[in-house]
């Protein structure tokens, strides 16, 4: 059903339009009529129509204003003018303003009128769509510009943050490096013989400074992680020997604390596509934590399990444990939990935070199970990206396996 | 980290070490430790001075700071053309900056090692220099 508003003050002309439409009869229509532009504008505000057929000169409107008034009242409705033969120039002007078409009074058949109406409706729809698309494109271009500006702004901020981090870490490390060098000289004999009774004091000062340096390192790492600066450099890495190396490096600490570190590697060598330096920090930190929070004389267990898709490293201790309400906090930044050992342990409260960030970056997970007074177990799961090297160099693999499997790395 | 006790004093070293470091406190620490160990040591306070002393002394090892006024470690390496003009000289770039970009740059432009200053105790520094002298 096509709804037509006819704006025509001359009743005879109006009748002619009605007859022509009846004649065509293949287009169902409803015809409304207004006798002036003012009337038509009111009508258009009240009611939706599909097309306006209008005389060009009406009692309340000059030819040059008619189109503008009708168009303002219904922007999406196509307007066709019906003019006297000597008014065609005016009609052409209206088309320039946006009218769809014009007809000459008395010079059209019903068929022709219907075709003009149908074309006008389709054309108008197309024009409106095109105009909308253009407007959208303009908006998008504008938004893209804003985004680019925003991006540039963020880039500048990120750079400022990076620069600050670099500078701050440099400035914090330099004086501590001085302390390390000079106390190191005394302790390591670069300044002649050290009276033995002074050694423990200097050793304390040296270790305290080392702790400060490691906190600066933690802060810096955290800032780099936050800034999204950390890019993993993945390479095939032998996890089995990485863990064995960490265990033997930390050996003296375990001896000092009268703890036992039991390493149970998976029967087969585990090779993963990981960033060795970063992942080493994770396990170093977890094993060190396990030792720090475990009383003297107890054990820490490091175990590796491998399935088709995952590798699982478990680090369990017999330490103080973490209360359930604190477990959620420990992977947060500065999420240290106060317990009976935290004062002695020190630390920045960032180790587990960046451990989680690094494991996350690898697409793995890190979880903890803990019971107060009994101990904690940290479980790192990493994806295996390649199938297990089942048959490669079986002899070498066996030798290594015999060598490492089940051996106790440290004894009290 | 626990520290190893006592340093093994070996026979006097003939090798010449150039320290390029703007921080007087560290200049003095490195100079003392290396002189004590028997090396001949020359010290520059920035890259420009470093370039002059490099030409004059042709050291076996350069201990090169990165952040310095006037001519920094990066520009020093670019201007010195170590690998081309001083193939015998080994360079340890040492800084308390720990960004990957700087490390990569230094290694690309002639540094044999990049170390974090705060990681090295005096005896570890000596070990590193001994290792490079033997290359």
3-state secondary structure B41-100: EEEECCHHHHHHHHHHHCCCEEEEECCCCCCCHHHHHHHHCHHHHCCCCEEEEEECCCCH
C-beta atoms of A181 and B6 within 8 A: no
C-beta atoms of A169 and B97 within 8 A: yes
Return all residues near A17 (Cβ < 8 A) that are at least 6 apart: A6, A8, A31, A53, A82, A113
Listed by number, the residues of chain A in 148-167 with a beta carbon closer than 8 Å to a beta carbon of chain B are 166
C-beta atoms of A174 and B96 within 8 A: yes
Q: ∠A16-A20-A23 over CA atoms, to 5°?
A: 140
Find, among A272, A202, A212, A211, the residue nearest to A241 by Cα: A272
Q: Which of B10-24, B25-39, B51-65, B85-99 has the lowest mean pLDDT?
A: B10-24
Tokens coding A405:
């499997």
Return all residues near A370 (Cβ < 8 A) that are at least 6 apart: A321, A322, A324, A327, A376, A377
User: Is A208 at the interface with chain B, CB within 8 A?
Assistant: no
C-beta atoms of A190 and B37 within 8 A: yes
Listed by number, the residues of chain A in 250-269 with a beta carbon closer than 8 Å to a beta carbon of chain B are 252
Residue B14, pLDDT > 90, answer no
**Cβ-nearest to B7 among A188, A217, A220:** A188
Query: Angle between the B24-37 and A110-187 helix axes, to the nearest 10 degrees?
Result: 50
Return all residues near A65 (Cβ < 8 A) that are at least 6 apart: A37
User: Is A170 at the interface with chain B, CB within 8 A?
Assistant: yes
- Cα A9 to Cα A37: distance, rounded to the nearest angstrom: 9
Q: Tokens 């095939």 sit at which residue?
A: A236
Stretches where chain A sits below pLDDT 50 are 388-412
**Cβ-nearest to A220 among B37, B98, B123:** B98
Query: What pLDDT score was predicted for residue A337?
Result: 63
Cα separation of the two ends of chain B:
28
Mean pLDDT of B118-122: 91
Tokens coding A68:
């503008």
Strand order in the sheet with B61-65: B40-44, B16-20, B61-65, B90-95, B113-116
Helix (H, G, I), strand (E, B) or coil at A1: coil
Query: What pLDDT score was predicted for residue B54?
Result: 96
**Residue B110, min C-alpha distance to chain A (Å):** 22
Helix (H, G, I), strand (E, B) or coil at A287: helix
User: Is A104 at the interface with chain B, CB within 8 A?
Assistant: no
Helix (H, G, I), strand (E, B) or coil at A305: strand
Mean pLDDT of B87-111: 87
Q: Tokens 């820490």 sit at which residue?
A: A300
Q: DSSP secondary-structure letter at B91? A: E
Query: What pLDDT score was predicted for residue A384?
Result: 84
Mean pLDDT of B33-43: 95
Please list every residue in chain B whose beta carbon sits closer than 8 Å to the beta carbon of residue A178: 23, 25-26, 29
Query: What pLDDT score was predicted for residue B39?
Result: 94
Find, among B86, B79, B70, the residue nearest to B16 by Cα: B86
Q: How far is C-alpha A365 from the geometric centre of its chain's CA atoms?
A: 19
B10: how many CB neighbours lie within 10 A of its CB? 10
Query: What pLDDT score was predicted for residue A326?
Result: 83
Query: What pLDDT score was predicted for residue A405?
Result: 33
Q: Which residues pair with B104 in a beta bridge?
A: none
Yes or no: say if A386 and A273 are a contact pair by the CB < 8 Å rule: yes
- Cα A300 to Cα A317: distance, rounded to the nearest angstrom: 4
Taking the domains of chain B in order of start, what are their residue ranges?
A: 16-133
Return all residues near A52 (Cβ < 8 A) that are at least 6 apart: A4, A5, A6, A7, A40, A44, A70, A74, A77, A78, A79, A80
> What architecture is domain B16-133?
3-Layer(aba) Sandwich (3.40)
Query: What pLDDT score was predicted for residue B17?
Result: 96
A140: how many CB neighbours lie within 10 A of its CB? 10
State what percent of residues in chain B have pLDDT above 90: 68
Strand order in the sheet with A408-410: A365-371, A375-383, A310-317, A299-306, A260-264, A408-410
ipTM of the complex: 0.89
Mean pLDDT of B122-134: 92
């Amino acid at each position: 059903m096509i709804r037509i508003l006819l704006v025509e003050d001359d009743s005879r002309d109006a009748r002619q339009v009605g007859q022509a439409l009846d004649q065509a009869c293949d287009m169902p229509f409803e015809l409304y009529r207004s006798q002036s532009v003012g009337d038509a504008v009111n009508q258009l505000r009240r009611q939706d129509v599909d097309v306006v057929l209008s005389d060009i000169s009406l009692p309340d409107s000059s030819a040059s204003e008619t189109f503008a008034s009708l168009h303002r009242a219904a922007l999406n409705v196509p307007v066709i003018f019906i003019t006297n033969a000597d008014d065609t120039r005016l009609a052409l002007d209206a088309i320039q303003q946006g009218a769809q078409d014009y007809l000459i009074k008395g010079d059209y058949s019903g068929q022709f009128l219907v075709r003009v109406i149908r074309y006008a409706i389709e054309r108008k729809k197309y024009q409106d769509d095109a105009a909308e698309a253009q407007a959208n494109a303009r908006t998008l271009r504008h938004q893209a510009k804003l985004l680019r500006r925003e991006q540039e702004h963020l880039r500048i901020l990120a750079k400022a943050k990076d620069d600050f981090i670099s500078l701050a870490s440099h400035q914090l490390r330099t004086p501590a490096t001085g302390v390390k060098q000079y106390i190191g000289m005394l302790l390591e004999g670069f300044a002649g013989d050290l009276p033995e009774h002074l050694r423990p004091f200097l050793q304390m000062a040296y270790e305290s400074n080392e702790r400060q340096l490691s906190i600066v390192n933690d802060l810096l790492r955290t800032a780099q992680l936050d800034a999204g600066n950390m890019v993993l450099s993945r390479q095939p890495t032998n996890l089995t020997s990485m863990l064995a190396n960490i265990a033997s490096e930390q050996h003296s600490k375990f001896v000092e604390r009268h703890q036992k570190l039991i390493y149970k590697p998976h029967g087969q060598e585990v090779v993963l596509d990981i960033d060795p330096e970063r992942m080493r920090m994770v396990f170093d930190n977890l094993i060190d934590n396990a030792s720090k929070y475990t009383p003297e004389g107890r054990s820490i267990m490091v175990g590796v399990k491998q399935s088709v898709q995952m590798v699982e490293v478990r680090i369990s201790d017999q330490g103080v444990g973490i209360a359930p309400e604190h477990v959620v906090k420990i992977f947060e930044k500065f999420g240290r939990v106060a317990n009976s050992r935290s004062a002695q342990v020190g630390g920045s409260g960032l180790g587990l935070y960046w451990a989680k960030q690094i494991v996350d970056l690898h697409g793995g997970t890190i979880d903890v199970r803990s019971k107060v007074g009994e101990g904690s177990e940290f479980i790192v799961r990493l994806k295996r990206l390649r199938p297990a090297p089942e048959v490669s160099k079986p002899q070498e693999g066996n030798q290594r396996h015999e060598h490492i499997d089940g051996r106790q790395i440290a004894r009290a | 980290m626990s520290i190893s006790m006592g340093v093994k004093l070996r026979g006097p070293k003939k090798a010449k070490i150039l320290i390029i470091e703007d921080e007087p406190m560290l200049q003095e620490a490195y100079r003392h430790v290396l002189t004590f160990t028997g090396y001949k040591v020359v010290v520059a306070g920035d890259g420009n001075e470093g370039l002059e002393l490099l030409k004059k002394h042709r050291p076996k090892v350069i201990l090169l700071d990165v952040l310095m006024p006037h001519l920094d470690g990066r520009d020093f390496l670019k201007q010195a053309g170590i690998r081309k003009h001083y193939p015998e000289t080994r360079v340890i770039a040492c800084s308390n900056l720990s960004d990957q970009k700087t490390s990569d740059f230094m290694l690309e432009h002639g540094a044999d090692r990049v170390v974090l200053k705060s990681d090295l105790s005096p005896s570890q520094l000596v070990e590193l220099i001994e290792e490079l002298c033997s290359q």
